[in-house]
């Protein structure tokens, strides 16, 4: 059903105390898309403007200051809820038919109370420039639920071009479990992939934005950003203010995974994952992670970048650029950050708050060493 008038109004809450505003220096800069240099990554928002925290106060640690102005993890208090739309849909049939006819700049809004079972559906494409939305956080709404009970859901959604925006929805996958012993035994037998995997959203295009969503139950990855071999780049992606949990299959289990792709990953909550953020470590894999909250229920380290030893490609390369700053890690019994080789440009880990007291166990570079800086972090439970 096509609509032209808004029936939704988001609520905007000012969650920054005046004292923190006085201590925080924020300035805006316009970035050239995809540009890299030795000092920074160009990881920009959908409107090509990025909050630059490179000069953020060195006396502030962890995610709590959160100068984004939006609640970490999204939900209640999130101010950027969609308030107008092109199409309003309620059912699976309406959703699938509308996606087939939607054009760039169209907004498809799924009613907040909808629960849509997409089990058994072929991969669903979101066309270039289209926004898929619901109202997570509006008047205590959880937002529409899109789910699959089929283990082989790989992926549920796929972007069909640049500037796809997904916001305010819940995505439930088919498997919330770790399967630790089972997967280890299957790996020994060379049958690891005999149990199908699942992904929530996969994108091979630049300028994807995914915000204010909740993801759980994706055995491979909730969000997978991967460069299509036919394309030049998959960069300037923005993943922010989401809640990722129970993506934790032994050997996989990622909140956000990148493969020859680049993203800014900001103000999310991660819990009950194997890795909250992971990268294959191929040459063009880069991410900046800031103002994220990592809770304590992980079955491996929280933030990761694979190296050549993992890929067995006779290199030590662990991605291009990694910047991890102003995050709070509540893990105690696991490492927090592991870089498994040498980044092409470099890795910087700074101004984070680690509950783990032992810095030598909390942040690691393994297999090969170089292009790695760790400084100005705090360790130990508050």
> What are the domain boundaries of the chain?
18-379
What is the rounded (10 degree) CA torsion for 286, 292, 297, 301? 30
The mean predicted confidence, pLDDT, of the chain is: 88
Topology of the domain comprising 18-379: Pectate Lyase C-like (2.160.20)
Q: Tens digit of pLDDT for each residue in 13-60?
A: 343 443 343 343 333 333 332 333 333 333 433 333 334 444 556 788
Q: Are 116 and 89 in contact (CB under 8 A)?
A: no
Report residue 382's pLDDT band, with 50, 70 and 90 as the boundaries: low
Count of all residues that appear for the chain in the document = 382
pLDDT in the model for residue 43:
40
pLDDT in the model for residue 7:
31
What is the rounded CA–CA span in Å between residue 347 and residue 343? 6
Burial class (CB in 10 A: 0-12, 13-18, 19+), 59: exposed
What is the rounded CA–CA span in Å between residue 180 and residue 184? 6
pLDDT in the model for residue 56:
56
pLDDT in the model for residue 142:
98
Query: Secondary structure of 268-303 in the HEC alphabet?
Result: CEEEEECEEEEECCCCCCEEEEECCEECCCCCCCCE
pLDDT in the model for residue 51:
40
What is the rounded CA–CA span in Å between residue 247 and residue 302? 12
Which residue has tokens 């980044």?
343
What is the rounded CA–CA span in Å between residue 215 and residue 74? 12
Q: What is the mean pLDDT of residues 256-264?
A: 98
Report residue 313's pLDDT band, with 50, 70 and 90 as the boundaries: very high
Q: Tens digit of pLDDT for each residue in 166-199?
A: 999 999 999 999 999 999 999 999 999 999 999 9
Q: Are 18 and 39 in contact (CB under 8 A)?
A: no
């Amino acid at each position: 059903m096509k609509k032209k008038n808004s029936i939704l109004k988001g609520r905007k809450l000012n969650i920054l105390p005046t004292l923190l505003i006085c201590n925080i220096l924020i300035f805006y800069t316009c970035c050239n898309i995809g540009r890299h240099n030795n000092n920074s990554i160009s990881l920009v928002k959908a409107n090509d403007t990025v909050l630059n925290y490179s000069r953020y106060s060195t006396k502030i640690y962890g995610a709590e200051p959160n100068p984004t102005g939006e609640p970490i993890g999204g939900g209640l208090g999130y101010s950027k809820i969609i308030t107008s739309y092109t199409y309003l849909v309620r059912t699976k049939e309406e959703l699938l038919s509308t996606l087939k006819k939607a054009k760039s700049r169209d907004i498809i809004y799924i009613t907040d109370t909808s629960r849509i079972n997409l089990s058994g559906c072929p991969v669903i494409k979101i066309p270039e420039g289209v926004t898929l939305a619901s109202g997570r956080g509006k008047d205590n709404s959880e937002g529409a639920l899109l789910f699959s009970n089929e283990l082989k859901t790989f992926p549920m959604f796929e972007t069909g071009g640049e500037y796809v925006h997904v916001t305010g929805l819940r995505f439930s996958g088919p498997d919330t479990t770790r399967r630790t012993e089972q997967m280890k035994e299957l790996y020994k037998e060379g049958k690891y992939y005999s149990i199908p995997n699942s992904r929530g959203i996969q994108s091979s295009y630049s300028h994807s934005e995914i915000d204010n969503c909740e993801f759980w139950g994706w055995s491979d990855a909730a969000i997978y950003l991967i460069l299509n071999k036919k394309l030049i780049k998959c960069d300037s992606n923005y993943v922010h203010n989401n809640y990722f949990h129970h993506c934790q299959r032994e050997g996989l289990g990622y909140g956000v995974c990148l493969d020859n792709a680049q993203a800014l990953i900001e103000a999310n909550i991660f819990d009950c994952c194997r890795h909250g953020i992971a990268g294959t470590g191929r040459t063009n894999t880069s991410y900046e992670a800031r103002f994220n909250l990592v809770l304590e229920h992980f079955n491996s380290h929280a933030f990761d970048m694979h190296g050549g030893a993992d890929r067995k490609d006779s290199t030590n390369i662990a991605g291009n650029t990694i910047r991890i700053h102003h995050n709070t890690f509540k893990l105690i019994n696991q490492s927090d950050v592991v870089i498994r080789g040498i980044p092409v440009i470099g890795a910087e880990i700074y101004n984070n708050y680690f509950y783990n007291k032992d810095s030598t166990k909390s942040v690691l570079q393994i297999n090969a060493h170089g292009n790695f800086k760790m400084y100005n972090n705090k360790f130990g439970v508050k």
